[in-house]
A and B are shown apart, each in its own frame.
Chain A
Amino acid sequence: MKENGNAPGFAIEARDLTKTYGNLVAVNRISFNVKYGEAFGMLGPNGAGKSTMMRMIYCRSPLSHGLLRVVGKDVTLDARAINGAVGVVPQENNLDPDLSVRDNLLVYARYFHLPRHIAEQRADELIEFAELQEKRDVRIETLSGGMKRRLMIARALLNQPKILVLDEPTTGLDPHVRLAIWEKLRELRRQGLTIVLSTHYMDEAEKLCDRLVIVDRGKILVSGTPRELIREHARHFALEARGCNGQPLHTGLPQVLAERRGSTHFYFAPSAEELAPLMKAYENHEVLLRPSNLEDVFLLLTDNERLI
């Protein structure tokens, strides 16, 4: 059913979104839309303004300028309604250490005014979703990092949100745990939940997001699907030569983009053929020819020492 007879519109609509702290511009006139059912990623280095944008979405950071509508509601006017319709997993776990796993969910459900029997039913379902059945009555401090993160996600789903907002969902977790969390998030995406996440992990963005923006210094540098971004900004193939201290980059080759990062030289081209001549030039080095990935896009866009 459509609200107010309007078109369903966007899950999130940001226009000229700006946040300043004194002289510091944390978010600088950013505009983007997130569609319902989409998994949308914000990728950027630390300090790029990702967390500030996330906080603006869940109404913890008032806008300095611009417009932000979440589930069709203005963040400056309707914070209460928005937070009722959004599930939030902040960067830092903030589970209640004084309560058990299940009580964490039950107490949190109260803040959404859920009746007791519904809260209990959802808590039990979500404990199962988070695979914490064995831990339901233990205190939070006995949980592993991965369990805590899963419980954070479970808690954010208590109000059956229209949008799940995750700020760096897997930062600091080991590879197995990250895979397990991604699996959970993909499951939610399949169910049609709108997901907005920030990350500085390229693989995470590539695996989870239908569409993403790369942000740096409060600005969106590029936006698109992971595939599009790689094609447009990092060609198709990459050649990586390690241990090239003091050697010059081979610049000026047709169709080839060259870049130095530390002692490693990078070359990007639309096909492997264009890179083949370079293989010889680096005969005595560790050389890797591979498809370009999101990390290349990211580093190409956020790096200042770029040479063409």
Chain B
Amino acid sequence: MPALARVNFGDAWRVWRRNYDVYVRLWKTEIIAPLFEPVFSIIGFGWGVGSLVAGKVMGVPYLTFVGAGLLAFTALLRALFECTYSSFFRMVYQSTFDAVLCTPVEVESLGLAEIAWGASKALFDGLFVLAVLAVFGAVTSPLSLLIPITLTIGALWVAALSLLITSRIHDINNYNFYLAFVFSYLWISGAYFPLERMPEPVQWLAWAVPLTGAVDVSRQLMIGNLSWKMLAETLYLIVAFLVTAEFTLRSLRRRMVN
């Protein structure tokens, strides 16, 4: 039986609510603090770098171009940090997972709740950054209203991958390798400059990562484009999420039930 089929959504919802309750309770540090950096990155990139970029990038102002990248990355990093350090904390230091697993909630529902929670936080932050971009005039199309869907799917994949790593490591320093890959990938993801300018092998590498599609789709929606390619990118992301989540839930069972 696939691990995903063992998920009880009622149980997962209750674990998600636990994380949400704590998030609201700690709102100053949890909700407000993480929003400073994206605002200043928009200011920095939009006015700072943007003033150096003559003309348009791929037919749009640089702030619109880079804004989509910043938006996608703010959200995705949020999912990443939630399902690495925060999940590790709940799993190892606070023994929250142990407490939950003494109830009818089974490990697959718990794992999916963690993934969904990581994606939810990504979505909250993403909506905020999208609003800021709109204020700065970088959002030009009503199709932008679809961006949260793309962000959520992308964040689900990142959250699942991050929790997979969390389920395998025993020392918090082991995240350094994962972070090294992610932050390296950031520079070839198409977030800050067009992928088309890169050498072909780098482009192939970038497109192999499902996130590149999330960045691209967010940007196209912000500009107001729709294409079959975007659908293909979204499907690739969904498949990547499902496959990764299956591995994650199996791995988490091995870790927690032994």
Contact surface of A with B, Cβ cutoff 8 Å: 58-62, 79-81, 83-84, 88, 90, 92, 94-99, 103, 107-108, 110-113, 156, 159
Contact = CB atoms under 8 A, between A and B. Distances in A.
B95 A111 contact: no
Contacts of A84: 103-104
B188 interface: no
Contacts of B105: 83, 111
A98 B26 contact: yes
A83 B103 contact: yes
Given A60-B257, A98-B26, A107 B21 contact: yes
A112 B104 contact: yes
Nearest to B102: A88
Given A61-B258, A111-B14, A92 B100 contact: no
B258 A94 contact: no
Nearest to B103: A111
A156 B103 CA distance: 9
A111 B96 CA distance: 13
Interface in B107-131: none
A92 B100 CA distance: 14
Contacts of B99: 94-96, 108
Contacts of B103: 83-84, 108, 111-112, 159
Top 10 A-B pairs ranked by shortest CB distance?
A94-B95, A111-B103, A88-B102, A94-B99, A98-B22, A110-B14, A84-B104, A80-B104, A83-B104, A94-B98
Nearest to B18: A107
Contacts of A62: 257-258
A111 B106 CA distance: 10
Given A83-B104, A95-B99, A103-B21, A113 B10 contact: yes
B104 A111 contact: yes
Nearest to A159: B103
Contacts of B209: none
B160 to A, nearest CB: 22
A141 to B, nearest CB: 11
Interface in B241-258: 256-258
B106 A79 contact: yes
Interface of B: 8, 10-11, 14-15, 17-18, 21-22, 25-26, 94-96, 98-106, 256-258
B257 A61 contact: yes
Given A61-B257, A99-B25, 10 more contacts: A94-B96, A94-B98, A96-B99, A99-B21, A108-B99, A110-B17, A111-B11, A111-B15, A111-B105, A159-B103
B5 to A, nearest CB: 14
A112 to B, nearest CB: 6
Given A92-B95, A94-B96, A110-B17, A60 B101 contact: yes
Nearest to B95: A94
Nearest to B98: A94
Contact of B102 (A90, A97, A103, A107): A90
B102 A98 contact: no
Contacts of B257: 59-62
Nearest to B22: A98
Given A83-B104, A111-B103, A112-B103, A90 B18 contact: no
A80 B106 CA distance: 7
30 contacts: A59-B257, A61-B257, A61-B258, A62-B257, A62-B258, A80-B8, A80-B106, A83-B105, A84-B104, A90-B102, A92-B98, A94-B94, A94-B96, A94-B98, A94-B99, A95-B99, A97-B94, A99-B21, A103-B21, A107-B17, A107-B18, A107-B21, A108-B103, A111-B14, A111-B103, A111-B104, A112-B104, A113-B14, A156-B102, A159-B103
B40 to A, nearest CB: 29
A88 B14 CA distance: 19
Nearest to A110: B14
Contacts of A111: 11, 14-15, 100, 103-105
A57 B12 CA distance: 23
A163 to B, nearest CB: 12
B208 to A, nearest CB: 37
Contacts of B256: 60
A95 B100 CA distance: 10
Contacts of B106: 79-80
A60 B25 CA distance: 30
A287 to B, nearest CB: 47
Contacts of A58: 102
Contacts of B10: 113
Contacts of B17: 107, 110
Nearest to B101: A60
A110 B15 CA distance: 9
A230 to B, nearest CB: 34
A44 B105 CA distance: 30
* Residue of A58, A60, A61, A84 with highest tally of chain B CB at under 10 A: A60
Contacts of A94: 94-96, 98-99
A79 B65 CA distance: 51
Nearest to B15: A111
